[in-house]
Amino acid sequence: MSNNEKNLSKYIDSLNEEKKPKEHVRKVESSELEELMDTVRLVKSLREPAMPASDYPDKIVRTVTNELSQKTEAKKISRGWFLGLSTTAAVIIMVIAISLTSSFGRNNIIYAMEQAFLDVKAYHGILEIKGMNAAGKDTIQAKLEVWADKDGRYYLKRIEGLQTGLTTVNNGQSKWQIRPDLKQVQIFPAFPDPYRFSFELGKEVKDVRNAIKTKQIGEEQVSGREAIVLEVLPQGGEAYKLWIDKETKLPLKKQSAMQNALQYTITYTDIDYIAAIPAELITYKLPAGFEEINTNTEQLVNNLQEAEEALGFEPKMPESIPTGYIRSSIAVELDTKLIKLYYTDKDKQSKVVILQGKAASSLKPASTAVLGRINSSIAEIQSPIEGNLGVLSGGGAYAGITNISSIRWQEDGFEYAVVGDVSIDVLNMFVEGIAGAKLQSSSEDDSLTAKPQITVPVDLAIEENEQKSVDAGHSPWKLDPVFVAQVFVSLQISPEGIVGDYPIKYEAMKVVQNNGKEAIVEVNDDKSPTSKVYLKKLIRQDSTGIWTVVGYDPIGK
Amino acid sequence: MTEEEKIKETQGEALKSIEEVCSDTWEAIYRFIYSKVQNRQEAEEITQETYVKALAYLQKNNIKIDKYTAYLKTISLNILRDKWRKNKRQGKVINIEAINPMEAAIDDVSEASAQRELVQNALDCLNEEQRLIVELRIIKGYSSIETARIMNKKEGTIRVIQYRALQRLSEILKNNELP
């Protein structure tokens, strides 16, 4: 009996992990057990199915065409639905080969890596982070003990380098950091999590799959293991190298491009694939003599009724959400009267939060945000989030986390924001579910229609140097169109230079249009000789590009 | 139209056909198989095999059909039964030749919702503790350790209750003992 109980429990675990149970391949000895397994599947059918990755339909097409081409090779079919299929298969294979701009070897290793990662439940390793300067000098920046699992839970402990002993844990429900230097344990919300570690295998596999180009450039040994070296050109970034273990088919080492005269190499000097992170590591316990600092003000509730009772308003639920996402939890922030609906995708790799609260005042978008419209209201789009305003300010520092984007708007006296580590397109599907209409982003327009009355000449060589200087961390204000406009107008008033406060206040400026490449800032101050300032991102049109004044409208002209 | 243009056009049509058939039907087929196997790995494997077998058969016999979904579902069920034949007592294998592609149709929508209803009712017949454990373990997908923690019980106890709950459920469903 006890064996049957264990086997049934393992069977449930297999299905929960979306793996084929061994009982589906081998004969089950006990007919009772077989019946109970049938019952398990019936019960599980109440749950939504786990859907495959987005490239799965393409995979079917590839496999079918490959198989059919093998079967029909040299056989000419003259009529019917599959007319010319064998030659087509050859064409498809060619097209695939050309469009991937690399050999089949690339597909095989990436496919093998994806498949190998499917079997990983959790891993434990020692991660070494090395920095190399332009002169080729290596320094160990940090050594970390890493425990991580497929559900995004992790335990990280610094075992060498600065802040040795610093431990960060995220168990999916909450996150905490043990600071031996301060004798403190700081508690944070589990999401968003800005401290995700640098070499999370799931993220690496995903990045390679989404890369623009991948090329096998050689083979090398890493920590005594044979590895294939890939060069990966990611979307929107510099090419990096990734070493894949030939035996396990999983990443072992990563080397970034040389940026700001520094290159990072991250290596798993030791890694084991395990069944789960030991429970004691991801269970919260305040060490003796430590003080607990709780910065997490959100409180989980079981259902919408509880949220409604706590907040005093009926929260709006999305009518629809993108395929593959499920709601994972509901939380409320009592001090700011906010509800947070958490959603996660089937692989638990991405999270999206819908925030809703009563609108305290009219929507004032962050100065760096792109502006759009939802229904007839103005919407703030940030990718990544640079300013925490309105509902974004409640409970959780979303700003400054590079992979988190948001869309925020107001409707019927409420303010909403959809926040997540996903693309704006995915966020937009959630927006549609809530607002009943998609976001109309002004970045879809090619250029702004309004033109300045007076054009300001620009020197591109100077701007390029400015951009480099901002990239290196100087004058970050150049990334904010309002700040750039404020400096421009202030210098019009005091051309000799600004001493003390700016003659025009930052609050007197308002972004009226911003499509991410061009912006118009309105100046509402009687002292200002200018009513509107026109700006452009001349060097780079993303969140790291600097704004330059290209024109203005003088007052009363 | 030159011969070369004709070939190109035909190639384009065939390419579109496979892609179209797959993109129009894969989700329905995948969901259908998943409803039987209840795990992604196996559902992906069988879906893929279904397309290879079905399309190869249609191609070999030069058959054009309208109701792909129904036909593909029948093929997938056949593959599944074939795979499970060795360790299952139920389910008979249908010969692929015996399925008429023009007529095959499995209307599983109403069947599926009736089944859901039955399972849900059967769950309601369990005692509170049994129902909660089955829900946590199978519907919510918690591990037995997590379930033990939530229920404040030992892992072994969870396994015992879960076994008894499923025995009870199986009896209810088998004997149609619903209230």
Are B15 and A91 inside 8 Å of each other by CB?
Answer: yes
Going residue by residue through chain B (179 aa), what tens digit of pLDDT does each one get?
555 555 445 444 554 477 888 888 888 899 989 988 999 999 999 999 998 888 887 777 766 666 778 888 888 888 888 777 655 544 444 444 444 444 444 445 556 677 788 888 889 889 999 999 999 999 888 889 888 988 889 999 999 999 999 999 998 888 765 55
Are A12 and B137 inside 8 Å of each other by CB?
Answer: yes
Give residues with Cβ within 8 angstroms of A295, minimum separation 6.
Answer: A186, A187, A188
Are A88 and B167 inside 8 Å of each other by CB?
Answer: no
Q: What is the pTM of this model?
A: 0.46
* Shortest alpha-carbon distance between residue A42 and chain B (Å): 7
- Mean pLDDT lowest for which of A15-24, A39-48, B112-121? B112-121
Which residue of chain A is at minimal alpha-carbon distance from B24?
Answer: A57
Residue A330 confidence (pLDDT) above 90:
no
Where are the extended beta strands (E) located within A134-261?
138-149, 154-161, 167-170, 174-179, 184-189, 213-222, 225-233, 240-245, 251-255
Residues within 8 A of B (CB atoms), A 295-324 only: none
Residues within 8 A of B (CB atoms), A 111-150 only: 118
Cα–Cα dist B164/A392, whole Å: 48
Chain A residues touching residue B123 (CB < 8 angstroms): 43
Among the partner-chain residues A4, A25, A36, the one whose CB lies closest to the CB of B170 is: A36
pLDDT-derived band at A8, boundaries 50, 70, 90:
very high
Are A68 and B59 inside 8 Å of each other by CB?
Answer: yes
pLDDT-derived band at A61, boundaries 50, 70, 90:
confident
Cα–Cα dist A156/A282, whole Å: 10
* Shortest alpha-carbon distance between residue B103 and chain A (Å): 18
DSSP-assigned letters across all residues of B10-37: HHHHHHHHHHHHHHHHHHHHHHHHHHHH
Chain B residues touching residue A56 (CB < 8 angstroms): 26, 30, 44
What is the DSSP pairing of strand A405-411 with strand A414-420?
antiparallel
First-last CA distance in chain A: 91
pLDDT computed for residue A237 by the predictor: 65
Are B163 and A36 inside 8 Å of each other by CB?
Answer: yes
**Phi, psi (rounded to 5 degrees) for A115:** -65, -40
DSSP-assigned letters across all residues of A16-84: HTT---GGGTS--S-HHHHHHHHHHHHHHTTSPPPPPPTTHHHHHHHHHHHHHHHHHTT----SSTTTT
Among the partner-chain residues B34, B59, B173, the one whose CB lies closest to the CB of A72 is: B59
Are A85 and B14 inside 8 Å of each other by CB?
Answer: yes
Residue A397 confidence (pLDDT) above 70:
no
Chain B residues touching residue A329 (CB < 8 angstroms): none
Category of A218 on φ-ψ map: left (φ > 0), alpha (ψ -120 to 50) or beta: left
* ipTM computed for the complex: 0.85
**For an interface test with A, which of B25, B166, B167 has the most A Cβ atoms less than 10 Å from its Cβ?**
B166
pLDDT computed for residue B6 by the predictor: 52
Which residue of chain A is at minimal alpha-carbon distance from B142?
Answer: A16
A489: its two tokens: 């107008």
CB pairs < 8 Å spanning A and B: 191
Among the partner-chain residues B27, B59, B119, the one whose CB lies closest to the CB of A42 is: B119
